[in-house]
Amino acid sequence: DTFNNEQLFPKLQKLLESDYFRFYKVNLNKPCPFWKDNSLCGQKNCAVIPCTPVSVPEGIKTNDHHNMYSAEANQECEKAEKLGAVNSSLSEETRQSLREWSKHDDEAERFCVIDDEESPDSQYVDLLLNPERFTGYKGPEAWQIWNSIYEENCFKPYTVKRPLNPILPDLLPGQCVEKRAFFRLVSGLHSSINIHLSARFLLDDNWYEKKWGHNVSEFQQRFDAQLTNGEGPKRLRNLYFLYLIELRALAKILPVLQRPSFQLYTGQSVQDQQLKLQLIELLQVAKSFPLHFDETTLFAGNKEEAATLKEDFRLTFRNISRIMDCVGCFKCRLWGKLQTQGLGTVLKILFSERQIEALPKSSNSRPTFQLSRQELVSLLNAFGRISTSIRELENFRSLLSMVR
């Protein structure tokens, strides 16, 4: 709590207010792939305000689908021009095959579906103007989402009949550490979202103003030990577990982003350079945490079994990321897609240790590990949500002490 609230949270919030990290590209109109969805939320608090074309920095729009290694861009362009004469003899079918191979290689590393980047239906959203908070989206439709997530999670201890009250034992008989970890990540994400909704609850809505604030009763219903039959504290432990996993990923990505070839590009060179320094400083603070999670304990057994389990892990999480397109509330869908993509990026980082360690020293060589801008933005904003949840717990502890 002290590390997050005093050292990391203030720096992270400042970073997320920058142009580079506040604009997120998302397709909110993808059809639900699992069931016919007729339950779109009609409440105005569910609406998302997309960006106007002029409000998004030109540098972000022109470079969003590329990797962020702009220092190498000129060299790559020169190579492409030289290869152009050769490649011109290739048929369009062959070129398409090459593009598909490259896409397949990238997809094989990913733990979530992120085809929004190149979709013509995607729009930029200013995350600061569309904050995550209580929208009134609840009832059977919301329950169906969480029930599907837990049911699709084949690593659950047993069928979860009440998604708002999942059974989350710390020790699940017969389950390996990887399966327990997966379930706790999903539960931690669920807990974090519930904390946000309780902390930014619509307390009053009348014709002249809306009042948002902390709803202590709502928080207690979800996390109080007595009201949840002892499950509330377990949910909060899973939140801290998720925090440690994401914090570890930030520490591990530091050498990738420290490379001179890595640039945050919005088209404003001075601000971009300052922002990179702020980002590196944040990651160094993350690395300084003395009790990091040891991800080497995962998938460390028999090589064949570990490889199979890791692939199951990846495909199961990708499936959960697709469920986000079934969320009826657009604002909830926005933050659900962002946070699952962020967690998917975390898993990609943690399970790419060899590629990160093999990064070439020379900027002339192709990096063995890369992140797109979309992945980096979702990674930092998703961790920002978890960090905010930890910070809000202190506020709720203070409010509850006054109630008692």
The response to whether 366 counts as a known ligand-binding position is no
Residues 179, 155 contacting (CB under 8 angstroms): yes
The response to whether 292 counts as a known ligand-binding position is no
The CA distances from residue 371 to 278, 308, 349, in Å, are 18, 25, 9
The response to whether 228 counts as a known ligand-binding position is no
The response to whether 52 counts as a known ligand-binding position is no
Out of 41, 46, 112, 329, the active site residue is: 329
Q: Is 154 a catalytic residue?
A: no
The response to whether 66 counts as a known ligand-binding position is no
Q: At what angle do helices 9-16 and 373-403 cross, to 10 degrees?
A: 130
Q: Which among 18, 20, 45, 26 is positioned nearest to 334, based on CA atoms? A: 26
The response to whether 222 counts as a known ligand-binding position is yes
Q: Is 332 a catalytic residue?
A: yes
Out of 46, 51, 326, 332, the active site residue is: 332
Question: Judging by beta carbons within 10 Å of its beta carbon (0-12, 13-18, 19+), is residue 237 exposed, middle or buried?
Answer: middle
CA angle 49, 392, 190 (to 5 degrees): 70
CA angle 151, 156, 159 (to 5 degrees): 55
| Helix residue ranges per DSSP H, 230-268 | 232-252, 254-257
End-to-end CA, the chain? 22
Q: Which residues are annotated as a binding site for FAD?
A: 133, 135, 146, 187, 190, 222
Q: Which residues are annotated as a binding site?
A: 133, 135, 146, 187, 190, 222
Any idea which residues carry the catalytic annotation? Answer: 329, 332
